[in-house]
Amino acid sequence: MLGEGNYEERVLIVYSGIHYDALALAPTVDSPTEFDQTRFFVTDNHVLGASKELAGGLRKKHKYTDVANFTLKCEQCNTGLKGEKDAQAHAAATGHTHFTEYQ
């Protein structure tokens, strides 16, 4: 792990298949996001274990973006595409750059 042993606190990151998000711990379910905690002591193994459990649960429920197989639509010509490779090839061939994911 990056910087392991050099710091007293850590930030936990989850990758969705497209981007990274910091995990946040809210003091209550309805508290404003400015009260979220995103830095945790490296000695807090409870938070680390809970984050691994959360990530595992999200993975099992397929709550991530499979960039190789997700379906996209070109917003400029309505062409249906499958995966990041198709989108890149379409963009290179047409110059189109606006895509949305659809099911």
pLDDT digits (tens, 9 = 90+) for 35-56: 999 999 999 999 999 999 999 9
Report phi then psi at 81, rounded to 5: -135, 155
Burial of 42 (0-12, 13-18, 19+ CB in 10 A): middle
Q: How confident is the model at residue 34 (pLDDT cuts 50, 70, 90)?
A: very high
pLDDT at 3: 74
Residue that is written with structure tokens 């606190």 in the block:
9
Q: Which of 98, 102, 75, 70 lies closest to 86 in space, CA to CA? A: 70
pLDDT digits (tens, 9 = 90+) for 61-76: 888 778 888 899 999 9
